[in-house]
Amino acid sequence: MRFLRRGALSLCVVLVAVSIGCNRDDSVRIGVIGSGGSFAAVQEELRKGATLAAEGLNRRKAPGDSSLEIEYRTAANASELRTRVGQLVRAGVSAIVMTENLVEAGGSRDPAREAGVPVLTIGDSSRRSGNKAGVFRLGPGSEKQAAALANWLTATRGITDVSIAAGSGDAWSGSGIGLMTSALESKGTRVASTVRLSEGIDYLQPAQALQAAGAQAVIVWAGPAESARLVNAIRTIGWDVQLAGPGLLMHPSFRSLTGRNSDGFVAAGPTLAEEKWMGPDLRDWFLDYHDRFTLLPIEEQRTLVAAFPLAAVRSFDAVSIVAEAVRAGKSDDPRKVGEALRRIDAYEGLLGKYDLRTKGGAEETGAPRVGRFLNLAVVYDVEAGADLTRASAFYKTQVSAFYVPQRYLDTAEGQKLTERVLEDVLTNPETVEFFTQYTAPRPPPGPV
Amino acid sequence: MHRRRASAGILLLVVLVAAWSGVAPAATPQPQMTVAAHSLSSLSTVASGLSAAEPPIRIGMLSVFDFAADWMKNGGQMAADDINAAGGINGRRVELLFETDSALGNQGVKNMLNAGVDVLVGPEVFTATQQNTAAIKQRKLINLLPLSPVGEIADLNNPYVYRLVPYDRIQAEALVHHLVDVKRLRRIAVLYEDDFLGKPGAGLVRDQLKFRGLTPVKSLSFNRGDTDMSTQVAALKGSKPDAVIVWSLAREAAHVALAAKSLKLGAVLAVPIEAAVGEYVELAGDAAEGTISVLPHKTINNWAPPGSWRANWFARYHRRFTINAYKGTKVPNLPIAQAVVYDSLMMYAEAARRAGSTDGDAVRRELDKGEPFAMVTHDFAFSAGNHETYSKEDLWAFRLDRGAATFAEDPRADVQKEREAWQLFALGLLFDRKKGVALIPYSIGTFPAPGPVRVVDLRWRVHGVQFLTHVDAGHFGLPPRTPKGKYAVVDLEVTNLSSAARKAPWVFAVDQASSLYIPDAPATAGLWIAGGPEANFFMFQPLPAGATVRGPVVFDVSKEATELQVGVPNDFIFSDYAMVSVKPA
């Protein structure tokens, strides 16, 4: 496993360096905050990815060297966030890993910024992020995602009228309307209507309101659970409209809650090539993740498509990057760690190459990829000039679980999965959809 | 994903002593015969073309318990019909005389002797045989025991008595060996039914423990017909046993299992085969899970593969009498006891044909020659010195899992292979999903490739087969799929002749060594991936009315496989199926 070899090498240097430069105690501490609201679905993934990184590094440390500790906190809302960040700063963490909406919520009184503690965001990032503010985004920012969606809807699908539905909860959801409106209008696309969803109501009402506005597409900018409710409502009323949303909806819980209603939903996700998805580094990582935390197919659905915890991978990368910065800065002092982070120009993580020198923050190279869901799989065939042979192969690889190594199948969960599928095949063959044929997107204009 | 190599296939367990599994016996044995000798009922059928002048060969079918009587009736009728349809025995038709003697069979044997039967099948209680052994010997009456597990034939010193099932001593040996020598359990308790079956069984267990320097940590009993075993189980729990060997009939053993679960006994339950099947599974439900017993290691792979006459015997039985699934499971309650009864008659018929006579000495000489009689449950081969069918080495340990047996428990097992066999059996291969009952497929024959085969509204042909060392998806640097043995890629074409759309059906294959394989889904998917956007996953491809599709199906077959029989059932779950024999070009 290449990344583990790299990790092991990194660790040795990190911990030797820190044993020289450490000024508090024997541990290097990294804070991790799992947030509520739209990002609640990834909360646990954040912790697990960070834990896996720390455990891997600690396993390989030399005797006497410092170990890595994860200080994990959760925050249900913005005010809790400020409290948690303050707690972590006081606990002496070298850096904090969290989701972007907490950065937004930090506002002018950001304890991390005041103390010079660098923050790495694993999810979407807003325009307020940036390395100069000590905030390093590790994925395509919300602005970029909005721009990618607007461009795809307009240029690729020829859609001229778009409605926007934003989630009810946090600042991140609310920002969706502004970000998408701005991105769409820059392309000359009309915003037919905007809806701010409201928890607790019947989502058929906003679905019907959106339909009445006559848009050709609906942007759903909310957390997975809330988005799923709206998508299910839209499909329930029989509205065959193009649906699209941010990369957060790549989270498997969205497909778990929508099932085949997710077919044709387009999301602007991470810049992750198919070779990377299916490559040995990630495959090995997912096996390690499974051994530690269990990795299953998307829940509540008859599918072999795995519930890949991409947020956990990002969190793993974030912790690994901080460790690399500690090594480079020869200190776990947060300000020195921050300085070292700003110098990282080509860290090879699981999800891509990270360049933290960029003005807007750290990003893996390339623009967000726009993909659709088909039979619960992610398919990259909706962009102009897409290679359908490659796209269909990617689809089939996911739905047939061709990539799953025997090592997984030999685990208890793998055996259960085998038995579940076999039972389904034996007793409900007419409804087996695991191996449903690939179908190319419908030609534009209109929904895929 | 379903497994690459289903080499094991269905566990068509030849559960040789399933006989005892079902219904509770009568509460109190009757002191009198229920049927007098002169009023024995004849249920035989007479095949046309048999000589009316020759007197029929009269086969006595004697049982003690009601459930055994049912097995005798079904298995015996099926055999008699088959024998008569094939011209009888030496031109004489056979006639069955049934009797049930609930007073443990002693008088029943006498009645049969008085009735002048030519051969006696049963009873299941060995004391009846023991008490009448002199008369049987004097009459030179062939006496076949398909349902009697107690005692040893050798002790009778009677050359006319043969047993067709494992007996209790070798079961006790095999069980204790597995628990103590293999699983390294030391604290063994014994709980037995206080009757002709349980007492000697418990004694044999104690002997086996003693041989290993052990004594039971507790030894308790119950009466036949008891349903509340909580007192005994609570007492056993106090002795902290690692395992409890329960020697009884199925119903009582099930009540022990229920009490053990209720009282959280926390010990392995082990039982002889007569207690582990049939009603045990139905009554005990989840409490039966994990129970250990022993059986001859016979599965569809090494014994009754699809297309074989043995597999078809079960299909024929199902069509005539209906085989149900155990309540709450997808596991068929296979008529093994009936099959052994059937075998008794068929083996006798074959021996009498070979001898050209029904004379007891002539028939036993044929039976004792050691030349196998290939029957449903076994290739029976006896010698003058051994009239037992099985030895201890023939018995493998198995464990009940979701109502089905898995031989993965035995240290001699290929665990993966046995697990796959169990999966197919437990998960519904022999289950009619529409009717909720068991369904045993029937093979209509094996045909040469590449000619078309039609089964009801499905026409199919095998264009060829090729063996591959791996399957490469050809994308994203994915590692190729490699087989445990080698991949057999079958080029299959299917036409839907019905007026309704359907999906392309399930496919299976059997190699020349009788190993059964189901498709290797990941390897088949590899070809699907490599085939480009238009390629379909063959088995699940929608098939409109009148449409024809063609595609590859991959099996992970053994390295030694040289030719395959490919089967395509009309329905996804087999109703009828044909097979095609194919070799690689």
pLDDT-derived band at A405 (thresholds 50, 70, 90) equals confident
Of B3, B433, B477, the CB nearest to A418: B3
Q: Do residues A326 and A332 make contact, with C-beta atoms less than 8 angstroms apart?
A: yes
Residue B424 scores a pLDDT above 70: yes
Helix (H, G, I), strand (E, B) or coil at B95: strand
The crossing angle, in degrees rounded to 10, of helices B309-321 and B66-85 is 120
Residue from A280, A313, A279 nearest A295 by CA: A313
pLDDT value at residue A125: 55
Name the pTM for this structure.
0.83
Contact A429 B503 (CB under 8 A): yes
Q: Rg of chain A over CA atoms, in angstroms? A: 22
Among B424, B427, B429, B568, the residue to mutate for chain A (most A Cβ within 10 A): B427
The Cα B246–Cα B230 span in angstroms is 14
pLDDT value at residue A2: 39
pLDDT value at residue B203: 97
The Cα B344–Cα B120 span in angstroms is 10
Of B476, B502, B505, the CB nearest to A397: B476
- Bridge partner list, B486: B557
pLDDT-derived band at B32 (thresholds 50, 70, 90) equals very low
Q: What is the mean pLDDT of residues B449-463?
A: 90
Residue A441 scores a pLDDT above 90: yes
Contact B427 A404 (CB under 8 A): no
Of A275, A396, A429, the CB nearest to B525: A396
Of A402, A428, A440, the CB nearest to B529: A402
Contact B1 A438 (CB under 8 A): no
- CB neighbour burial string for A329-359, b if at least 16 within 10 angstroms, e if fewer: bbbbbbebbbbbbbebeebebbbbebebeee
pLDDT-derived band at A170 (thresholds 50, 70, 90) equals confident
Q: What is the mean pLDDT of residues B28-37?
A: 31
Q: What is the mean pLDDT of residues A70-86?
A: 90
Under DSSP, the state recorded for B182 is I
Contact B506 A397 (CB under 8 A): no
Residue A76 scores a pLDDT above 80: yes
Q: What is the pLDDT of residues A232-269, one digit of tens each?
A: 999 999 999 999 999 999 999 999 999 999 999 999 98
**ipTM of the assembly?**
0.88
pLDDT-derived band at A105 (thresholds 50, 70, 90) equals low
Residue B58 scores a pLDDT above 80: yes
Helix (H, G, I), strand (E, B) or coil at B418: helix
Pairing outcome for strands B564-569 and B576-582: antiparallel
List C-alpha distances in Å: A92 to A27, A89, A336, B279: 10, 5, 13, 66
For A392, the closest chain B residue by CA position comes to B533
pLDDT value at residue A127: 55
pLDDT-derived band at A56 (thresholds 50, 70, 90) equals very high
Helix (H, G, I), strand (E, B) or coil at B157: coil
Q: What is the pLDDT of residues A132-149, one digit of tens each?
A: 568 888 888 888 899 999
pLDDT value at residue B571: 65
List C-alpha distances in Å: A421 to A302, A426, A429, B270: 8, 8, 10, 31
Instruction: Confirm or reject contact between B451 and chain A (CB < 8 A).
Output: no
Percent of chain B past pLDDT 90, that is, above it, reads 70
pLDDT-derived band at A215 (thresholds 50, 70, 90) equals very high
Among B478, B554, B573, the residue to mutate for chain A (most A Cβ within 10 A): B478
Cis before B450 (ω within 30): yes
pLDDT value at residue B540: 85
Q: Which residues on B lie below 8 Å from A375 (Cβ)?
A: none
pLDDT value at residue A366: 57
Rounded to the nearest angstrom, the minimum Cα separation between B184 and chain A is 24
pLDDT value at residue B110: 97
Instruction: Confirm or reject contact between A279 and chain B (CB < 8 A).
Output: yes
Residue A131 scores a pLDDT above 80: no
Instruction: Confirm or reject contact between B86 and chain A (CB < 8 A).
Output: no
Contact B473 A279 (CB under 8 A): no
Contact B529 A278 (CB under 8 A): no
Q: Do residues B197 and B150 make contact, with C-beta atoms less than 8 angstroms apart?
A: yes
- Bridge partner list, B100: B63
- Bridge partner list, A218: A163, A243
Tokens 């002693």 map to which residue?
B106
Of A419, A435, A440, the CB nearest to B423: A419
Contact A393 B541 (CB under 8 A): no
Instruction: Confirm or reject contact between A2 and chain B (CB < 8 A).
Output: no
Q: What is the mean pLDDT of residues B67-77?
A: 95
Residue from A310, A308, A321 nearest A377 by CA: A308
Q: Give B456-467 as a DSSP string.
A: TTEEEEEEEEEE
Q: Do residues A438 and A392 make contact, with C-beta atoms less than 8 angstroms apart?
A: yes
Q: A-B interface: how many C-beta pairs under 8 angstroms?
A: 121
Q: Which residues on B lie below 8 Å from A415 (Cβ)?
A: 419
